C-alpha cells in the first residue's frame, strides 16, 4: 500500500565533483518500483536537478527556514528549494536539533513551510542514548511526534524518519526489535491522530548506520517503509545494495 522510499542524506559532504556518484546511483536504478530520494548539500541542488532531469531520482534539501523570505542571512526557504528542483526537505534531523538547538515547535513550522511550498517533509525523530537507557524512548518519540508533525500532514507530503541519535554515524544499529517497537508505536500514534486513512499512508523510515550488510533485516521489520541513509548514500557502491535490498523486501 505504501510505496517504499530509499533516501540519502549527504549532509555537509560533496562538491560538484561528487555529482558523478549521484548520476551513477540514478543509472544503476533506471526502473524502480520505489522512490529514490537524494538530499545533497543545497549548493548542489541546481546542478543535480539538471544532471538527473531524465532520471526518476527525486531531489531533496537537508533543511529549510520556517518563513518564505526575509532578513535571515544564510538561510534558505522552502520556496527557494522548490525553485531549484527540490521535491522534499529533511527537517528536524538530530544534528539540526542538537547543533542548532532546534525545538520540535520549530521543526513543525519548517514542515508546515515545506507543505505550503509543495515539498514533502521528511521529519526526523529519535532518542539519545541516555534517554534510551532511562527507558524514556517512547515518551520522547511521542512528544517529538505530536509537536513536530503539523496538522497539514498527509501520506503524500510527509515522511517520518525514526533515527535513534546513538545509531547515527556511529556504526551502531538499533536491533530489529527496537526498530519494530518504535515504528509500531509511531504508526499507532499517527492512526490515532489522523485516522487510519492518513495514519496508514505516511511512510516510516529507519535511519542510523544502515549499510548493505544490515539493510535486508531492517527492511523485513513491519512498518519500516524504507531508510534514511547518511554515510552509505555517498557512493553508488554502498547505496545501490541498500536500494536493491529495499526493492527485494516484501
Ligand atoms: C543520517 O544522517 O540521517 C544517518 C542516518 O546517518 P548514518 O546512516 O551515517 O548513520
> What is the per-residue pLDDT across 206-230, written as a single tens digit (0 to 9) for each?
999 999 999 999 999 999 999 999 9
Q: How close are the terminal C-alpha atoms of the chain, in Å?
A: 11
Domains of the chain: 5-249 (3.20.20.70)
Q: What is the pLDDT of residues 189-211, one digit of tens each?
A: 999 999 999 999 999 999 999 99
Collect all residues with Cβ–Cβ distance below 8 Å to 84 and sequence separation of at least 6. 45, 46, 49
Instruction: Tell which one of 11, 231, 232, 235 to mutate to probe ligand 1, the residue whose CB is within 8 A of the most ligand atoms.
Output: 231
Instruction: Round to whole Å and give the CA distance between 99 and 68.
Output: 23
Average pLDDT over residues 100-108: 98
Among residues 93, 95, 115, 127, the one annotated as catalytic is 93
Give yes or no: 163 in active site: yes
Q: Atom 8, ligand 1: which residue's CA is nearest?
A: 230
User: Separation of 10 CA from ligand 1 center, angstroms?
Assistant: 9
Q: In Å, how far are 100, 201, 209, 211 from 172, measured between CA atoms?
A: 24, 29, 6, 11
- How many angstroms is it from 22 CA to the middle of ligand 1? 17
Which residues have C-beta atoms less than 6 Å from ligand 1?
9, 11, 163, 168-169, 207-210, 228-232
Residue 87 CA, ligand 1 centroid: distance in Å: 20
pLDDT at 179 over 90: yes
Active-site annotation holds for 247: no
The percent of the chain in helix, strand and coil, each rounded to the nearest 5, is 45, 15, 40
Q: Give the residue whose CA is nearest to atom 4 of ligand 1.
A: 230
Ligand 1, atom 3: closest residue by C-alpha: 230
- Model confidence at 133: pLDDT above 80: yes
Tell me what percent of the residues of the chain surpass a pLDDT of 70: 100
Whether 172 shows a pLDDT value over 90: the answer reads: no
What was the pLDDT predicted at 250? 72
Ligand 1 centre distance from Cα of residue 215 (Å): 13
Amino acid at each position: 500500500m505504501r510505496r517504499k522510499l530509499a533516501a540519502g542524506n549527504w549532509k555537509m559532504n560533496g562538491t560538484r565533483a561528487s555529482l558523478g556518484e549521484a548520476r551513477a546511483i540514478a543509472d544503476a536504478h533506471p526502473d524502480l518500483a520505489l522512490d529514490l530520494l537524494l538530499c545533497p548539500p543545497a549548493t548542489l541542488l541546481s546542478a543535480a536537478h539538471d544532471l538527473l532531469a531524465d532520471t526518476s531520482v527525486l531531489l531533496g534539501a537537508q533543511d529549510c527556514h520556517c518563513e518564505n523570505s526575509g532578513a535571515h542571512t544564510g538561510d534558505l526557504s522552502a520556496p527557494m528549494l522548490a525553485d531549484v528542483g527540490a521535491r522534499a526537505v529533511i527537517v528536524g534531523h538530530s544534528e539540526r536539533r542538537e547543533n542548532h538547538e532546534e525545538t520540535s515547535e520549530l521543526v513543525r513550522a519548517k514542515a508546515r513551510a515545506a507543505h505550503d511550498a509543495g515539498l514533502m517533509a521528511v521529519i526526523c525523530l529519535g532518542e539519545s542514548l541516555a534517554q534510551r537507557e532511562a527507558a524514556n524512548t517512547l515518551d520522547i518519540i511521542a512528544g517529538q511526534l505530536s509537536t513536530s508533525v503539523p496538522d497539514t500532514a498527509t501520506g503524500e507530503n510527509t515522511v517520518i524518519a525514526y533515527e535513534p541519535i546513538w545509531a547515527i554515524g556511529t556504526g551502531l544499529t538499533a536491533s530489529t526489535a527496537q526498530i519494530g517497537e518504535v515504528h509500531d508505536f509511531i504508526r499507532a500514534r499517527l492512526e490515532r491522530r489522523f485516522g487510519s486513512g492518513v495514519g496508514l499512508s505516511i511512510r516510516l523510515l529507519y535511519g542510523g548506520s544502515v549499510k548493505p550488510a544490515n539493510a535486508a533485516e531492517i527492511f523485513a521489520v513491519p512498518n519500516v517503509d524504507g531508510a534514511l541513509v547518511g554515510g552509505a548514500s555517498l557512493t553508488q557502491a554502498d547505496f545501490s545494495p541498500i536500494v536493491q535490498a529495499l526493492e527485494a523486501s516484501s
